[in-house]
Structure 1
Amino acid sequence: MSGVTLTPAPGAATPVPVELAYSLTAVTKTYQQKKRTVEALRGIDLAIPRGQSVAIQGPTGGGKSTLLQMLGALDRPTTGRVALGRNELSTQGDRDLARIRGTEIGFVFQGFNLIPTLTAAENVETAFAWSTLSRPERQARAHAALESVGLAPRADHLPSELSGGQQQRVAIARALVKEPTVLLADEPTGSLDERTRDDIMELLLGVWASRGLTLVIVTHDSAVAARAERRLRIDAGQVSEA
């Protein structure tokens, strides 16, 4: 996995290299919007150590969603380099990017993105698109994932039979069942009340700590951002430490 070595202070011991989950170098992203060129990302240099929890905040249109798409292997930069561990995302083909998303990255969204005609367990099983596991193995792992988020008794319920917080727990189980190295959460508490928000954050931070995941949360909620180890701000396509 990629790593960097921090420069030691005079007289300090030689530091241990830091393993990086993500390394972004001079990343730009531009879009054509009618006759206008939009600079969504402008020369971003960013290193996220493996196992770190990071919150990203910023105004609407500041580049949060575009940056998350880069981290999630959902898009490529116009110029620059994006690496996830040893995977160079900037130059991968579509099939390789899909494989990386299917094996390395778990996604959690504000809108849950559950399939309404599938049960909770069946929704979790949809994460196995790239898996060679047998159907019984998939079912067993789906039920174990639901148990890990406190929803085993609801495995056979449809999304419409679950509360918003329970649906988000199903979505988290779906993200975790393939045992990713990275968990990306896009406004994961944005549609929840304050109490449920706190419960979901406790769950996310619990699985982050217990599994050694790299956790990146995009959020408008400062109370959510404050729970992360590191806070970043993106505005006008540029990232700074918050």
Structure 2
Amino acid sequence: MYRLTGVTKRYARGEKAVDALDGVDLTIEDGERLVVQGPTGGGKSTLLQMLGGLDRPTSGGVELDGTDLARLSEAKLTRLRAEKIGFVFQSFNLVPTLTAQENVETALVPLGVGTRERRRRAAEALEAVGLGERLGHLPGEMSGGQQQRVAIARALVKQPRVLLADEPTGNLDESTRDEIMEVLEGQWTAHGLTFVLVTHDSSIARRATRVATIRGGRLTTEERSVAEGNRADG
């Protein structure tokens, strides 16, 4: 699915150059779930941007199904994101003047899906995340957890192969965090997605069998059995 080779991302800060990613090598298999942890400014979100084709590396390759994202034109990269990659962010990024159903439909517009089909698929996606009775509600009429469920439905309605989540529970309380993680993990299982999640929350990292840690732009990975994750939670 993904293969990153020698990926470096360098930013200029005044007269200094800072490497947000420093020679990162990483393989993510089709259908795998990977949790990425690390301190603020360590390169977690930069890595996710590379995987999502939202930014290009200074050097190195980011391959998705054998295609190097860094070498695609902006038009082809935009199309690939629209077709293959779903994004979930900490801040929900919902349009406040659109209903839940309309927010979900926005993901299908770039794909040229007709109005009737968009409505049907959006309703099904919201039903799948437990919001079948909230189709006509505006974001301001929903709780934070419900808004994040809408964002998850929007990410998945286009039936992507990859789901990328950047601190998806960062704005939620502990109880709602657990509910959202159950939704995300349920959708990952149901659809056979490749799922990469960035988090500061160690309790979320303990739910995964593979964890990557980024510090100072350098990445290490740890493999764990399900039993180890369960012991950590207990």
- Paired position in structure 2 for 1:46: 26
8 Å CA contact 1:70, 1:76 repeated in 2: yes
Aligned to 2:160: 180
> Residue 69 of structure 2: which of 89, 93, 113 is its match?
89
Matched, 1:205 2:185: yes
- Give the deviation of 1:38 after TM superposition: 1.0
- Determine which of 122, 126, 141 is the counterpart of 1:142: 122
Stretches of structure 1 that go unaligned for 5 or more consecutive residues are 1-20
Structure-to-structure mapping, 1:82-231, within 5 angstroms: 82-231=62-211
Pairwise CA RMSD: 0.8
* SS of equivalent residue, structure 2 residue 26: strand
2:48 matched to 1:60? Answer: no
The residue matched to 1:234 in structure 2 has which SS? Answer: strand
**Normalising to structure 2: TM-score of the pair?**
0.93
Higher Cα Rg, which structure: 1
In terms of mean alpha carbon deviation, does 85-94 or 142-151 score higher? 85-94
Structure 1 residue 117, shift from structure 2 partner: 0.3
1:22 and 2:2 are equivalent in the alignment: yes
The Cα of 1:61 is off from its aligned counterpart by 0.8
**CA-to-partner distance for each residue in 1:191-241, whole Å, 9 max, x for gaps?**
111111001001111110111000000000011111122111000101101
1:120 shift after superposition: 0.2
Secondary structure, aligned partner of 2:133: helix
Residue type at the aligned position of 1:96: K
How high is the TM-score relative to the length of structure 1? 0.90
- Distance in 2 (alpha carbons) for counterparts of 1:147 and 1:188: 20
Q: Which moved more, 1:68-77 or 1:122-131?
A: 122-131
Offset, 1:27: 0.6
- Aligned AA (1:144): E
Q: How far apart, CA to CA, are the structure 2 residues paired with 1:98 and 1:67? A: 18
Q: Which runs of 4+ in 1 moved over 6 A?
A: none
Deviations 1:84-111 (A, max 9, x none): 1132101011111111111100000001
Identical residues among aligned pairs (%): 59
**Residue matched to 2:11:** 31
